[in-house]
């Protein structure tokens, strides 16, 4: 078999944030597979077949990609951000693990990308400058009780918390519940950052105290970051503060 | 003032992992500041002054960069990986916060890069495919008790744990202690990944069960990832398994 499967990260949106390694892989692909809006970010050209699919079809998409690679195609599965973070890389390896034993001998590579939390953090300062965690707030694939338990432990640990997939039409109440729970664990002045559509034309980012954070500020394209008790704001004349978490902490939180 | 300060991430090592945005910033810089081995990764050219400095001088380096920017220079501070993760971005904002009030009105931008944990994860599969945390294991800037507390809470939360700065000549015992502590919290078969010098010629990555993990496998350029109870290996004929953490988890850990 001469086929290959690459799972590539397109970063948050801007072409300037796509690594040369990913660009080269896209230029050599015969087949492109992914959630339709991500596939649409790659320009059409002769010799490239684009297979866009709906959201929440990750395993079907992964199996499709593996079958094509096994047939000798050069397949690239595209993800937004980094493919290893709540994205297609895990789905592909789940499909490999459960699928045809020959699939595990395929040439499979993951090419990293700029993850949403780092793109968002960079836009506002350095909120992830100290220990942090990333939690997928979706309870489609894990029980909500476990999400709540992780949020509490993360707050108790003093992690800055990046929340991916904070809400959707099918999951309208989870972010509000998470914010309520975090208000039980953390002081009300802890900064909460809502970062939407980072690096594209609709980019919006703002910071509010946890006490005033409401779920309605977020949508499907929002990343939410909850600061720790150490996270600080630096006021500026333009009204857009820098937000950062110092590297040092004097005593246990 | 027409000066500017950019804090740019060079990624883990390979030029193929540097974003076009960062490359453009490097091409327009008048002054380059950073830890000497990182500064050395940027090619010399007319009009560019390279200021390499020793490790552990982050605040001096940040103040130097801010002074040059305030004088009208186009300054780029370089970090390995992502500048917002245990790197120069937080140091710069600490210096802004504590320094000359005019500094906060400077044009300061952070340009994200591929962080070590995502580069390492990509090389071996998708170990960060579920909720995870990143902990700087250095106790230079925080008490060791706090590191221990965070490790325990992270293990209890079921996070995959990425350990940055696992050891150095001045911190020889901390990683061994961390592994011992994690063995109290997690089953011995949990996979531990040691990833060194990812994307450069000396790259080495291997996986051992937590029960057999010893600190001597790591050096200053190693990132250590501790799997969760859900993290799985997929055996391959070449003896190099894929390692991934499934997106779903059926019940609380």
* Secondary structure of B97-158 as H, E, C letters: HHCCHHHHHCEEEEECCCCHHHHHHHHHEECCCCCEEEEECCCCCCCHHHHHHHHHHHHHHC
Evaluate whether ipTM surpasses 0.85. Answer: yes
Residues B107 and B121 in one domain: no
Closest CA to A212 of A190, A241, A196, A235: A190
More confident residue, A213 or B253: A213
Residues A124 and A224 in one domain: yes
Give the Cα separation of B17 and A26 in Å (integer).
15
Q: Do B247 and A130 touch (CB under 8 A)?
A: no
Confidence of residue A186 (pLDDT cuts 50, 70, 90): very high
Q: Tell me: pLDDT of B4 over 50.
A: yes
Could you tell me if residue B250 is inside a domain?
no
Confidence of residue A252 (pLDDT cuts 50, 70, 90): very low
Q: Do B114 and A119 touch (CB under 8 A)?
A: no
CATH number of the domain that A159 lies in?
3.30.950.10
Total CB pairs under 8 A between chain A and B: 247
| CA distance to A16, A56, A77, A105, B240, per residue, from A5 (Å) | 24, 20, 7, 11, 17
Q: What is the pLDDT of residue B55?
A: 76
B interface test, pick of A6, A133, A148, A252 with most B CB neighbours within 10 Å:
A133
Could you tell me if residue B213 is inside a domain?
yes
Residues B125 and B217 in one domain: yes
Confidence of residue A165 (pLDDT cuts 50, 70, 90): very high
Q: Please, what is the average pLDDT of chain B?
A: 95
Chain A residues touching residue B17 (CB < 8 angstroms): 19-21, 112
Residues B233 and B124 in one domain: yes
Closest to A19 (Cβ–Cβ): which among B114, B130, B131? B114
**Axis-axis angle for helices B174-185, B144-157 (nearest 10):** 30
- Mean of the pLDDT values across residues B220-230? 96
- Mean of the pLDDT values across residues B97-101? 96
Could you tell me if residue B20 is inside a domain?
yes
pLDDT in tens, A123-152: 999 999 999 999 999 999 999 999 999 999
Q: What is the pLDDT of residue B54?
A: 82
Last-in-domain residue among A114, A131, A146: A114
Could you tell me if residue A29 is inside a domain?
yes
Instruction: Using CA coordinates, name the residue in chain A closest to B87.
Output: A129
Give the E-state strand segments of chain B in sequence order: 4-9, 31-35, 49-53, 74-79, 107-111, 125-126, 132-136, 160-164, 191-196, 204-209, 222-226, 232-234, 242-244
Q: What is the pLDDT of residue B7?
A: 98
Chain A residues touching residue B198 (CB < 8 angstroms): none
Q: What is the pLDDT of residue B57?
A: 84
Q: Tell me: pLDDT of A1 over 90.
A: no
Sign of the CA dihedral running A57, A60, A64, A70: positive
Residues A68 and A128 in one domain: no
DSSP string, A49-110: EEEEE-TT-HHHHHHHHHHHHHTT-EEEEEESB-TTSSSHHHHHHHHHHHS-GGGGGSEEEE
Residues A108 and A137 in one domain: no
Chain B residues touching residue A250 (CB < 8 angstroms): 143
- Mean of the pLDDT values across residues B164-180? 96
Q: What is the pLDDT of residue B2?
A: 78
Distance of CA B190 to the CA centre of its chain: 22
Query: Dihedral through CA B177, CA B180, CA B182, CA B188, nearest 10?
Result: 150
Last-in-domain residue among B67, B83, B114: B114
Closest to A91 (Cβ–Cβ): which among B142, B149, B247? B247
- Find the helix or strand (DSSP H, E) in which A36 lies: helix A36-39
* SS3 (DSSP) at A162: strand
Last-in-domain residue among A75, A94, A114: A114
Residues A152 and A39 in one domain: no
Q: Tell me: pLDDT of A63 over 90.
A: yes
Q: Please, what is the average pLDDT of chain A?
A: 95
Measured in angstroms, the CA of B213 and the nearest CA of chain A are apart by 23
Residues A72 and A169 in one domain: no
Q: What is the pLDDT of residue A15?
A: 96
Could you tell me if residue A250 is inside a domain?
no
Measured in angstroms, the CA of A38 and the nearest CA of chain B are apart by 18
Could you tell me if residue A64 is inside a domain?
yes
Number of domains in chain A: 2
- Mean of the pLDDT values across residues B174-197? 98
Instruction: Using CA coordinates, name the residue in chain B closest to A146.
Output: B252
pLDDT in tens, B23-79: 999 999 999 999 999 999 999 999 999 999 887 789 999 999 999 999 999 999 999
Could you tell me if residue A171 is inside a domain?
yes
Q: What is the pLDDT of residue A54?
A: 82
Q: Do A146 and B249 touch (CB under 8 A)?
A: yes
Residues A72 and A183 in one domain: no
Residues B89 and B125 in one domain: no
- Mean of the pLDDT values across residues A8-15? 96
Q: Tell me: pLDDT of A249 over 50.
A: yes
Give the Cα separation of A243 and B5 in Å (integer).
16
- Residue B74 gets the label, from left (phi > 0), alpha (psi -120 to 50) or beta, of beta
Q: Tell me: pLDDT of B252 over 50.
A: no
Chain B residues touching residue A57 (CB < 8 angstroms): none
Give the Cα separation of B51 and B157 in Å (integer).
43
Q: What is the pLDDT of residue B187?
A: 98
> Under 8 Å CB-to-CB from A43, ≥6 apart: which residues?
none
Q: What is the pLDDT of residue A57?
A: 84
Distance of CA B29 to the CA centre of its chain: 24
Residues B121 and B106 in one domain: no
In chain A, the percentage of residues whose pLDDT exceeds 70 is 98
More confident residue, B253 or B237: B237
Could you tell me if residue A249 is inside a domain?
no
Low-confidence winner among A210-214, B12-16, B87-91, B198-202 (lowest mean pLDDT): B198-202
Q: Domain containing A146: what range?
A: 117-244
Give the Cα separation of B90 and A130 in Å (integer).
8
Q: Do A143 and B93 touch (CB under 8 A)?
A: no
CATH number of the domain that A67 lies in?
3.40.1010.10
A interface test, pick of B80, B244, B250 with most A CB neighbours within 10 Å:
B244
Q: Do B141 and A85 touch (CB under 8 A)?
A: no
Q: What is the pLDDT of residue A73?
A: 98
Q: What is the pLDDT of residue A253?
A: 39
Residues B133 and B26 in one domain: no
């Amino acid at each position: 078999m001469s086929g290959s499967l690459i799972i590539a990260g397109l970063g948050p949106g801007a072409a300037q944030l796509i690594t040369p390694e990913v660009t080269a892989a896209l230029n050599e692909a015969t087949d492109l597979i992914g959630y339709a809006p991500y596939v649409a970010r790659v320009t059409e050209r002769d010799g490239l077949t684009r297979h866009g699919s709906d959201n929440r079809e990750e395993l079907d998409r992964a199996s499709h990609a593996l079958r094509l690679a096994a047939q000798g195609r050069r397949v690239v599965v595209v993800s937004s951000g980094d493919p290893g973070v709540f994205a297609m890389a895990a789905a592909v390896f789940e499909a490999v693990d459960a699928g045809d034993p020959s699939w595990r001998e395929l040439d499979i590579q993951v090419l990293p990308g700029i993850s949403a939390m780092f793109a968002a953090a960079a836009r506002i300062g350095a909120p992830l400058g100290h220990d942090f965690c990333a939690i997928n707030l979706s309870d489609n694939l894990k029980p909500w009780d476990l999400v709540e338990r992780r949020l509490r432990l993360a707050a108790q640990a003093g992690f800055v918390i990046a929340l991916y997939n904070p809400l959707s039409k099918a999951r309208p109440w989870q972010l509000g519940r998470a914010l309520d729970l975090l208000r039980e664990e953390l002081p009300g002045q802890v900064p909460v950052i809502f970062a939407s559509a980072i690096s594209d034309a609709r980019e919006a980012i703002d910071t509010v105290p946890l006490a005033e954070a409401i779920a309605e500020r977020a949508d499907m394209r929002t990343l939410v970051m909850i600061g720790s008790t150490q996270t600080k704001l630096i006021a500026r004349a333009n009204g857009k503060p820098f937000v950062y978490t110092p590297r040092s902490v004097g005593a246990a939180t």
